[in-house]
Amino acid sequence: MGKAVVVTDENFEEEVLRSNLPVMVDFWAPWCSPCKAIAPLIDELASEYGGRLKVAKADVQESQMAATRHRITSIPAILLFKDGRVVDEVIGTVAVDELRARVDLALGLTP
């Protein structure tokens, strides 16, 4: 448990929108340096929240329809989904503590 899943246009609905768990989706691209910089953070959170949060990575080149549908115009972009709806989004790089706090809020782990 605790490993990010790869999502594409083909499996986005199944893996993200129909998930029984809240989902954090990292929209990224291989040519994006800031995306590469936060990749270890995404992996860390996948391990930390295993079983409580599904972590997914969506390459915007492979997931163009999903990126367009969710109005991704800048990357990295992290969207938090709960019950198939976006409950929070983070655009650009972010500190691990801030992202963790936002995940906790989305999961209902903070007052």
Which residues belong to the active site? 32, 35
Rounded CA-CA distance 21/74 in Å is 26
Q: Which helix (H) or strand (E) holds 81?
A: strand 77-82
Does 76 sit behind a cis peptide bond, omega within 30 degrees of 0 on the bond before it? yes
Q: CA-to-CA distance for 72 and 66, rounded, in angstroms?
A: 9
CA distances 39 to 20, 25, 33, 52, 103, Å, are 24, 12, 10, 20, 16
